């Protein structure tokens, strides 16, 4: 088992305006961004950067002038082969000349992603864009029933979208299933960038708990997939969705299997109170815990089945003082269900 920290790192990178309360709210935001964005194509010779009033404008011929944000300004500097830090310390006139004189030449057009009066990104012809909204729509279709975890300390939601990228942390908090005698739930991280900041990808897993800092504890069956934004990126989106669909499918299979086990445990009787005591002693439970469990079942006038014993013991394990002892007892209790099969 391993601990996963992708969501934990995002928690401390994001500002409040990058956090979203629900998957629906995040998806609508991404749809709005897609609707307000345009892809313009121009050869490098048409691009005319100008620095004025401590900001940079990029003139795009007949399409007019656009401001640059932090990310697109960095891309422009990389395109020109000059340091962003150097441009920042030059005078307005000198900075304008430096960018204009170092602009690349050639006939291959550049892809300029704009939103209203701002350039969001600058790319060459090799870049293939995957919209955040397109990714989220596909993910929700592939894995219905998943939602963000509990809010983290400080208010982080696990759902983030900013100027440069998107990140979503989703779990199924309902369908806990048994894996080797321990309870696990399915979850995944998914990420993307419309502006070329990072690849897009997914990490699926089964986990035992998520803490207040969004660290995923005791994860198993971890599957990673990522892809750069080149070529036919839509084909890779299908691959990503198939990975999530497999997670959801296994969730449903395990849920059905677990329900079958519970049904058998409800029908598997172990006799009277004395026989139930002997049964639990043979399976490593302490006399003190057994006495309380048997008494509880007797008070409720339930039959002594494997399920009623597990149910009573599960409630009583919370009274065990030390975490290590409690974990050991929980493990023994969970193994009782396997005896019903």
Residue 144 has a pLDDT of: 85
Residue 181 has a pLDDT of: 61
Helix (H, G, I), strand (E, B) or coil at 117: coil
* Sheet containing 110-115: order of strands: 37-42, 110-115, 118-123, 65-68, 55-60, 47-52
Residue 166 has a pLDDT of: 96
Contacts of range 285-290, beta carbons closer than 8 Å, 24 or more positions apart: 285/313, 285/329, 285/332, 285/333, 286/329, 289/313, 289/316, 289/317, 289/329
Residue 1 has a pLDDT of: 62
Domain definitions of the chain by residue range: 2-33+130-255, 44-107, 268-338
Please tell me the distance from the alpha carbon of residue 341 to that of residue 338, in angstroms, as a whole number. 6
Are 57 and 118 within 8 A, CB to CB? no
- Return the closest-CA partner of residue 172 out of 72, 250, 234: 250
Burial of 72: CB neighbours in 10 Å, binned 0-12, 13-18, 19+: buried
Are 168 and 26 within 8 A, CB to CB? yes
Are 158 and 148 within 8 A, CB to CB? yes
Are 170 and 143 within 8 A, CB to CB? yes
Q: Which regions in the chain score pLDDT beneath 50?
A: 322-324
Dihedral sign from CA coordinates of 39, 40, 45, 51: negative
Helix (H, G, I), strand (E, B) or coil at 283: coil
Please tell me the distance from the alpha carbon of residue 13 to that of residue 156, in angstroms, as a whole number. 10
Are 62 and 48 within 8 A, CB to CB? no
User: How much is the pTM?
Assistant: 0.73
Residue 259 has a pLDDT of: 64
Residue 135 has a pLDDT of: 94
């Amino acid at each position: 088992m391993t601990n996963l920290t992708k969501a934990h790192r995002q928690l401390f990178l994001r500002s409040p305006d990058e956090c979203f309360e629900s998957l629906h709210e995040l998806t609508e935001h991404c749809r709005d961004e897609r609707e307000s964005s345009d892809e313009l194509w121009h050869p490098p010779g048409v691009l005319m950067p100008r620095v004025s009033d401590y900001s940079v404008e990029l003139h795009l011929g007949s399409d007019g002038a656009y401001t640059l944000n932090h990310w697109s300004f960095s891309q422009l500097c990389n395109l020109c082969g000059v340091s962003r830090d150097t441009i920042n310390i030059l005078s307005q006139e000198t900075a304008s000349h430096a960018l204009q004189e170092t602009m690349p030449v050639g006939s291959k057009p550049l892809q300029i992603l704009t939103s209203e009066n701002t350039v969001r990104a600058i790319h060459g012809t090799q870049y293939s864009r995957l919209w955040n909204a397109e990714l989220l729509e596909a993910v929700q279709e592939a894995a219905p029933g998943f939602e963000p975890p509990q809010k983290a300390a400080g208010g982080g939601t696990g759902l983030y979208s900013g100027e440069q990228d998107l990140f979503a942390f989703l779990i199924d908090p309902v369908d806990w299933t048994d894996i080797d005698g321990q309870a696990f739930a399915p979850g995944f991280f998914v990420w993307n960038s419309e502006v070329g900041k990072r690849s897009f990808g997914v990490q699926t897993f089964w986990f035992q708990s998520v803490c207040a800092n969004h660290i995923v504890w005791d994860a198993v069956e971890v599957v990673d997939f990522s892809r750069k934004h080149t070529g036919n990126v839509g084909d890779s989106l299908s691959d990503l969705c198939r990975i999530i669909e497999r997670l959801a499918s296994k969730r449903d299979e395990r849920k059905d299997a677990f329900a079958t086990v519970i049904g058998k445990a409800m029908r598997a009787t172990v006799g009277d109170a004395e026989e139930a005591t002997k049964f639990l002693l043979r399976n490593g439970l302490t006399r003190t815990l057994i006495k309380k469990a048997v008494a509880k079942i007797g008070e409720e006038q339930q039959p002594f089945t494997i399920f009623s014993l597990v149910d009573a013991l599960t409630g009583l394990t919370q009274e065990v003082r030390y975490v290590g002892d409690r974990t050991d007892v929980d493990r023994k209790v969970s193994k009782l269900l396997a005896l019903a099969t």
